Structure 1
Amino acid sequence: MRFRNFLVALTLAWAIAPASAADITKGRVAWMKFNCNGCHGGNAKGGMGPNIVGKDAHDLSTAISGDKTSGGMINYTKNTNPASIPTSTDLDNMSAYLKSIDTASEPKWVDWWNH
């Protein structure tokens, strides 16, 4: 029983552990590279697209893969070029970036090609 409680505690600690600075930086790079800021704004607080600050990778994946009527992103549902669709690693890193917004660890640079 103690071992099971330990495993549960360890799993929870890992799941809520803060993202590394490298993951947040990679997330900002992906955010800019995939032009998410074009619809969601430079700070992800909305524009033509909704505010997505704090969203997790599952939320991002669901939104990207859905169709326009179910809240999906039309530019990804019609896209046939795999290189222009974020990978699961990209989504994890973008989630880390989105969760860093309005914190001391939020990167604010716009020259993503230099990072």
Structure 2
Amino acid sequence: MKQLIDGVWEYSLINPNGFTLNVETMKPVKYGISVAYKETQDSFGKESLNRVINHALEHSKTVGGWFDTDSNRYYFDSVKIFKNSEIDKAIEFAKNHNQLAIYDLTNIKEIRIK
């Protein structure tokens, strides 16, 4: 697990504007709609990666991260990826997981839902 945590942490350092990464292949996810699970909400810093990665491995195998300039913290989430054609399912999932927004990886844009 330490090697996986270190790998995701290093990936976050070279992608400070954000990333979505398959933690089994360590390859970026570039298409679809990313929605965070509520179970890993408010996870920030390297110390949170163990919990986030464990959740991801048990669910969708995907971690997302971004640097929040307001708090000066790097946030991590276990995320579920939906096809772009499944926007309604993605929004419903996001609402069920208390999310304010989802992220369209294909078109590189945030979609506010609340």
TM-score w.r.t. the length of structure 2 is 0.31
Which structure is larger by alpha-carbon Rg, 1 or 2? 1
* Greater length-normalized contact order (CA 8 Å, ≥ 6 residues apart): 1
Give the number of the structure whose residues are more often helix, by fraction. 1
